Structure 1
């Protein structure tokens, strides 16, 4: 399929998705914006209450003071987490609303940029960490919005970097090509912690997580964003895994194009 035809196809599909998702987008905007006001009040009053609790002779003493401080710490952590959840909802809303700027995107060049960012981020988080990147050459080009596809790859590669933490070496393999039916595909495979494949269907929901915060940080929004981006491009994202051995993310676009 040539580039003009793909642009027309993406535009038509994007309009249909925009129409069907209008109510959801309005809800996400309302949640993201309207809930911030009471959340700001909660976070601003926590230090004031803490001052009263710890105010010398006028405050609480002994075990009561320590217990109240613990309660305030929990409240503060919960409020900050809620703020991050609202940020995630707002990001999803923006992905759904952002006008597509379709153009041929060279996946090799795009991945090289995102890989450098992920590699530097992983090095900063764990100095001396050994991550082996095995990225195939000759990946296909696809018709898409370069900014959204960059965000997509950042989420997918970022997850691979995160969930291979503790592996020596961590190994991330990226392959791709064009299927017989003309569809472009890309796979990202890692040797990370993996997960129970029976729960794979829940991973693309908002705030869905399979690991505890103590094991891996995150809000459970990254794969939801990745799915939304692929849907806007008329594509598909899937994930398979083996517990303790890693997982593979598969991305499929309607067609490859000339870069």
Structure 2
């Protein structure tokens, strides 16, 4: 059995390299598609706006004109939504293409910086453990991930009497386990796996802002660090907990 270990290790390393190559190719494809679609989308948005202006100037409005105005408004909304989807694709491709500069990062300071960038953070009740262990990360990418996760916790707590977000971290061996919990909308735990799929949402359209790209972005950032991310909930209306298993800072 011991004689097979070098061969198994080589096969494992080759498989990891293939997966990295596939991920890089996917990031390139996402970048190309999202970038190249922007020009025609800008034309759609512009001409939908011009059409709405022309229809508004019709001197003798009638049922057909009102119907056409509704069509133009729908076209504008859909085009803006598509623009948000392209923004999500670009963010994921950038996260996959950006050079990775790993260093020890003060997790507590990174969380505070993310809070400072979060709109409406002052209205949130924060329960953040101190002190926190340091992690090994690319600081800008970690900042992007934390901002997204804290933003989600606040967003999906809309409508609660008080928005409470709890953050804890502890070192477990060579990793740091980070948990971000809220008391918001939650979701059906049977559908948890679909949360990380691009443009997937477990809530009704229009109930919360966004296009369902945030957790896909977080997963891509975690993958690049050799980290793991999971999301759990007891059920709808019972809050949500995001758990990260992240490499601890190297001594």
TM-score (norm 2): 0.88
Among 35, 38, 58, which residue is 1:36 paired with? 38
- Residue 163 in structure 1 maps to residue 156 in structure 2: yes
Q: How many residue pairs align between the two structures?
A: 237
Distance (whole Å) between structure 2 residues aligned to residue 169 and residue 94 of structure 1: 35
- Report deviation, 1:38: 1.7
Partner of 2:48: 46
Partner of 1:101: 101
Among 163, 172, 179, which residue is 2:165 paired with? 172
- Report deviation, 1:44: 1.7
Partner of 2:85: 85
Partner of 2:113: 113
> Which residues in structure 2 correspond to 1:100-249 (within 5 Å)?
100-118=100-118, 121-122=119-120, 129=123, 131-179=124-172, 181-242=173-234, 243-249=236-242
Distance (whole Å) between structure 1 residues aligned to residue 229 and residue 154 of structure 2: 18
Name the SS of the counterpart of 1:23 in structure 2.
Answer: helix
Name the SS of the counterpart of 2:160 in structure 1.
Answer: coil
Query: Deviation per CA, 1:164-198, whole angstroms, max 9, x where unpaired?
Result: 1111222111111111x332110001111100011
Query: Deviation per CA, 1:116-156, whole angstroms, max 9, x where unpaired?
Result: 322xx1268xxxx4x21000002111111000000000011
Query: Deviation per CA, 1:200-253, whole angstroms, max 9, x where unpaired?
Result: 100011101111243211110110111111110000000100221101000001
From the superposition, tell whether residues 39 and 157 of structure 1 become closer, same or farther in structure 2 (CA, over 3 Å).
Answer: same
- Shifted more, 108-117 versus 132-141: the winner is 108-117
- Report deviation, 1:76: 0.5
Distance (whole Å) between structure 1 residues aligned to residue 230 and residue 58 of structure 2: 57
Among 21, 24, 33, which residue is 1:22 paired with? 24
Name the SS of the counterpart of 1:253 in structure 2.
Answer: strand
Stretches of structure 2 lacking an aligned partner (at least 5 in a row): 1-14
Q: CA RMSD in A?
A: 2.1
Name the SS of the counterpart of 1:104 in structure 2.
Answer: strand
Partner of 2:65: 65
Distance (whole Å) between structure 2 residues aligned to residue 166 and residue 226 of structure 1: 25
- Report deviation, 1:56: 3.3
Partner of 2:8: none
Distance (whole Å) between structure 1 residues aligned to residue 21 and residue 95 of structure 2: 14
